[in-house]
Each structure stands twice: as C-alpha cells, then as structure tokens.
C-alpha cells in the first residue's frame, strides 16, 4: 500500500488524529492538512462540503472516512470503534466498504443530511434502518472514492451514545469549512447556560472517539508498510 488518504469533517477531528498519530502539518496549507508515513489527513468540512477542493492530491491506495459518529444502537458506548461493512443514505445505493485485513468490519453506518439532535430521533433511525451509527459524510466520501477508482473504508468512533444527541445550537457552531466558531460558542452559552455542560460532554466523547480511531489508523498504517 502506497498511501492512505484520511478525510474528516471537522478541524477538531483532523488536528486530534494528527496529534495522536504524530503527523506533521503540510506547509502553507490553507486548511488542516497533515502527513506522515503512509497517512495523509485532511478536513473536508461537514457533509464533505469541501471535498472537491481539498482532496485533489496524488491518488491514494485507500480512502478512509474518519472521525466521530453518533451511536444509534443502544449497546454502543462512547469511544467505541465503528468499522462498518456498508454505508447507506437516503436516496442512494448501499455502498460496501473495502475489506481491511487488520480491522474487522460489521454492521451498517447511516449517513444523513443533518446532525441527529435527540435520542428520540436516533431511536427512530435505528428502527427504520438497522444502522448501528450515524454521520453526515461517509456515503459522500465513499462515492467520491469510487468515482476515483480507489477503494474506500470508514473508521469512526462514537462521540455520543444512543441516549444522547448533539443539541442544535452546538451543531450550528461548525462552519462549512469545518472550523468551530468560538464567537458562536460564547453566544450559545449566553443564550443557553446548559450548553456549556453539553459542550464539555461532547468534547469528552469526541476525545475518546478520536483515540479509538487513531489507534485503528495506526494499525492500518503499520499493516500497509
């Protein structure tokens, strides 16, 4: 394997994975972009909105959609690793993921157009689709990889369990390019004081998720040498 292109949605995910994996920033890159060994990581924004402009480098051997996801299955704990065998999205075909020798795949991941905000919505999606977890990018990233003629996989970590969600005001803090608005965060806390506790819990969950994903990516990179 010559290279693994890892694509994330939010800058926090990109920087966190790069830090765990010991990658270095690509000089003069206008967005979070890191390299090291076989791995190359870049942020392509929520719903992969910046994918076309930020993933135009040397053709990789494998594309991986990585970062945090929300649990739909009640037995998935925060920090659990999710490596689905397929990804589904409304109005699109079921996309199978590439087989990874060192990471066993199971279950289905659901990609939706917006962050799931409530446990009730998560329960409904779990019943309707049977997917174990949900994100907003993986089907788009896999479809892009397929169009490039490159195998695609998903390696995600659970940041919020099935009994919690991402409040609307916190989800709205992520800008189209993937950066979290600090000014928006302050306004959210002033408008809803409980947002601070929600943000701390989500940050803790995201940290656990990224550690799991980084460990999995490290195994994948070692196996590909």
Average pLDDT value for the chain: 92
Host domain of residue 170: 4-224
What is the pLDDT, as a whole number, of residue 146? Answer: 94
What is the pLDDT, as a whole number, of residue 190? Answer: 87
What is the pLDDT, as a whole number, of residue 28? Answer: 87
Which of the four pLDDT bands, split at 50, 70 and 90, describes residue 35? very high
CATH of the domain at 137: 3.40.50.1580
What is the pLDDT, as a whole number, of residue 1? Answer: 63
**pLDDT at residue 93 tops 90:** no
Number of domains in the chain: 1
pLDDT (average), residues 125-141: 95
Global pTM value: 0.94
Please choose, from the candidates 106, 215, 110, the residue with its C-alpha nearest in 3D space to the C-alpha of residue 157.
215
**pLDDT at residue 121 tops 70:** yes
């Amino acid at each position: 394997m010559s290279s693994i292109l890892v694509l994330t949605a939010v800058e926090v995910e990109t920087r966190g994975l790069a830090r765990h994996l010991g990658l270095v920033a690509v000089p003069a890159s206008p967005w979070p972009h890191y390299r090291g060994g076989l791995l190359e990581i870049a942020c392509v924004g929520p719903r992969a909105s910046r994918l076309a402009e930020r993933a135009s480098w040397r053709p990789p051997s494998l594309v991986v959609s990585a970062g945090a996801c929300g649990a739909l299955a009640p037995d998935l704990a925060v920090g659990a690793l999710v490596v689905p065998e397929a990804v589904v999205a409304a109005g699109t075909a079921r996309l199978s993921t590439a087989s990874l020798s060192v990471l066993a795949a199971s279950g289905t991941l659901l990609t939706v157009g917006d962050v799931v905000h409530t446990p009730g919505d998560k329960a409904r999606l779990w019943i309707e689709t049977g997917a174990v977890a949900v994100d907003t990018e993986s089907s788009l990233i896999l479809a892009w990889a397929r169009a490039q003629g490159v195998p695609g996989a998903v390696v995600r970590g659970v940041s919020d369990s099935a009994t919690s969600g991402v409040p609307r005001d916190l989800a709205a803090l992520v800008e189209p390019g993937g950066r979290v608005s600090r000014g928006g965060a302050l306004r959210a806390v002033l408008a809803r004081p409980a947002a601070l506790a929600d943000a701390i819990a989500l940050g803790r969950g995201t940290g656990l998720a990224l550690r799991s994903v980084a460990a999995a990516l490290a195994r994948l990179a070692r196996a590909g040498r």
